[in-house]
Structure 1
């Protein structure tokens, strides 16, 4: 081939490679809005604690420039710029941080989401996790938009292995105890059908006494609690002190003294942040729940 033609062919091939390499990929977020994937993001803002935890688990902590004031894990997240809370986001601060990716979720106010879109900021909104399986999907989606697909795949596989190990340990369970989950350290607030906490109880081979109520979060009245007579009460708290206060209230409440969980002192602490954030640490919550409900199958781990 003529040298000039060879050079022209090489240049054409190189140009096509560059064009293909820079080709934009468009994916849709969970609100069905398009997001354009170009180069890996360098300045990420997280609008929820579970998203922050996933980003750090994908080794993207150095790329995170802003988080909510509730993003307290891992410890390095505490040093990041705060952009408000889950529902009172500071738009001016978000804009000032010049993000090239903002990751939110359906729990953020729709008005705020619309304002961010109106400002043409690079926003990707995720669904709220409904169960452990949707947490895996959330991790994979964050892996895709940050171009950390392989890291996300490895993380999901490791979580699935832990899940399978827990299920194997529970394979011979004969009795699934009735469970009451007390959330937010308030005594009788609990979770119903459709919540990821209900899903965790079921996966830990327990029966959530509020699991047949089609409300994710609800207040349980004392009469119903007495009637359902839970064998185990699990108090989700941010601290042992908060747990002790709620436990003492339950044990000292005259009307609740006949409940089996109170009589047998099967009232347990579960870290609220583990169990209420649909991220990687939800697996820690599942493992702890399984050990609480069925300690006989986890004796070797103690």
Structure 2
């Protein structure tokens, strides 16, 4: 069983494995200054219906399940977020005061911790969600589809989003959330800021001569790493590195100790939620037989990347990109790692 994207919260074991997992339809306008009074009643009615139908279609967006979702006439005032990355984006758009429910893993920004809890990613409490009387529920592919469908059967408007394969999918995600919350202007501003951060890293690394080999370790039991289908693989490449596990056709997978030794990575990134976890993971890694000879361990290039920031497909991924780039190419980024 392949491992999903890293967890959005502190639980491990089976829950950890499960937890860590628009086109706008526009109507065709009637061209010209046509006077409906000059038409036959039948034709006038037909054109009026076409115009009204087009206007209605223009107010529809498709979610990432491909389902049409009617945009609300007014900005939603009571939003339930079913995933930590969605919560982060909502707060980044200035909509934190409208979020009336969030998962127990929604702890960023710190203000999100005071939002009423609805349960977890895979075990949300539907009765709690209904009691919050939301006019918009934003779900994520990490939520079990059967539960998402049950929320919809409660008569609540549910908009479902998917995780992206790389950084380029971040802007469309923000734009969709901005559209469905009627916060298009705020979304445009956030997208501009995120793209500026990515462009800044791209410019600093343009023409780099070498790309260090990178191994990513997810802190915890086993040597979990990201494969070529994970967006973390894309971030490593954008940061000027080469993921030694990129050939794995998976998002996350267990890696063998012997393979790490053969790959001999120049840099190891440990995804950890705290400095204490990072130090424990680094010490455990260095004690594995043969790992002391790996270049990254031998030269002290084992670094912490904030697990929550890296494992949530949200705005902080641009910060992760900048940190990885600084650690891989400090001479290009103009600062110490």
Fold in common (TM above 0.5): yes
The correspondence for 1:191, drawn from 201, 208, 226, is 226
Match of 1:40 in 2: 75
1:153 to 2:210 alignment? no
List alignment gaps of at least 5 residues for structure 2: 1-47
Offset of residue 36 of structure 1: 1.4
Cα deviation, 1:77-127, whole Å, max 9, x if unaligned, reads 000000001101000000000000000111100110111122221100001
Offset of residue 242 of structure 1: 0.5
1:26 to 2:52 alignment? no
Superposition CA RMSD, Å: 1.7
Offset of residue 185 of structure 1: 3.5
Q: 1:146 to 1:72 in 2, by over 3 A?
A: same
Match of 2:334 in 1: 299
The correspondence for 2:300, drawn from 265, 280, 300, is 265
Offset of residue 187 of structure 1: 5.2
Offset of residue 259 of structure 1: 0.8
Say whether the 8 Å CA contact 1:193–1:210 is kept in structure 2. Answer: yes
Match of 1:142 in 2: 177
Bigger shift: 82-91 or 27-36? 27-36
The correspondence for 1:230, drawn from 260, 265, 276, is 265
Match of 1:83 in 2: 118
The correspondence for 2:244, drawn from 195, 199, 209, is 209
Q: TM-score, normalised by structure 1?
A: 0.90
The correspondence for 2:150, drawn from 107, 110, 115, is 115
CA distance in 2, matches of 1:297, 1:186: 35
**Aligned pair count?**
283
Q: TM-score, normalised by structure 2?
A: 0.81
Cα deviation, 1:53-83, whole Å, max 9, x if unaligned, reads 1001111001000000000011110000000
Q: 1:146 to 1:89 in 2, by over 3 A?
A: same
1:214 is paired with a residue whose SS is coil
List alignment gaps of at least 5 residues for structure 1: 1-15
2:305 is paired with a residue whose SS is strand
1:254 to 2:313 alignment? no
